Amino acid sequence: MKIAVVGTKKEIVAAFCEFLRSLGVGSVHAVYSQKEAQVCKNQNHDLVFLDIDFPDAVKLVEGIKNLNRQTQVVVISDGGQQDTALQKMQVEFLTRPFQVNELRQILQKFDKPRSYDKVKAALVSVVIEQALLKLSPAAANEVGDRLYTKYGCYFSDCLQHPEYLKNVLEEIFGNAGAIILNEIKQNLADFKDQQPIAEFLAELND
């Protein structure tokens, strides 16, 4: 599971990260500034713990949700009235001071079995790469490079974000990018009834 902890108080954020690691979380990323938060948005975390006092917290949550619908956000607040804008964004709230068990429950809730989805992401990654290698290794490298530089993602992440793949293909190949998309659709035709591949293929058709 990939978690980001966003807050302005370095000592508290660092301690919270250590605590999460002690609970067995593999990848924990501390974010202290708005600049780092902008980079963090593109990094497809599974879960983001956000201090409500972080500047422009609402905008940050909007940005995270726009870039990756699957990222869950847990807003840590002091209780009292919860921000209505944040409530509408389908975030979880964790009120200070919280118990370890509350935190464990949140981690368990969002740590769904992902192995099956990961297999599909790997399949999509292989199909995309093979379609590009059919043109040339240079094409595969260029597309992969642009995906990473522009969106911070790899071929496997295109399952969640087919629009990234479409944009990069159009940038490089123009209308001829449709050839590669058709190749990908053909190779995934056997899986067209399975989610999330069905959604991926539907977006490619748009």
Q: How many chain residues bind other proteins (CB under 8 A)?
A: 22
Nearer to other proteins, 82 or 167 (CB): 167
Cβ-count burial of 66 within 10 angstroms (0-12 exposed, 13-18 middle, 19+ buried)?
exposed
Least distance in angstroms from the C-beta of 27 to other proteins? 24
User: Which of 28, 143 has the CB closer to other proteins?
Assistant: 143
Q: Which of 154, 146, 200 is nearest to 173 (CA)?
A: 146
CB pairs under 8 A, 24+ apart, for 14-22?
16/49, 19/103, 20/107
Q: Which is nearer to other proteins, 105 or 136 (CB)?
A: 136
Nearer to other proteins among residue 27 and residue 130 (C-beta): 130
N- to C-terminal Cα distance for the chain? 31
Q: Is 134 in the site for other proteins (CB under 8 A)?
A: yes
Q: In the complex, which residues of this chain contact other proteins (CB under 8 A)? A: 133-139, 141-142, 145-146, 149-150, 171-176, 178-179, 182
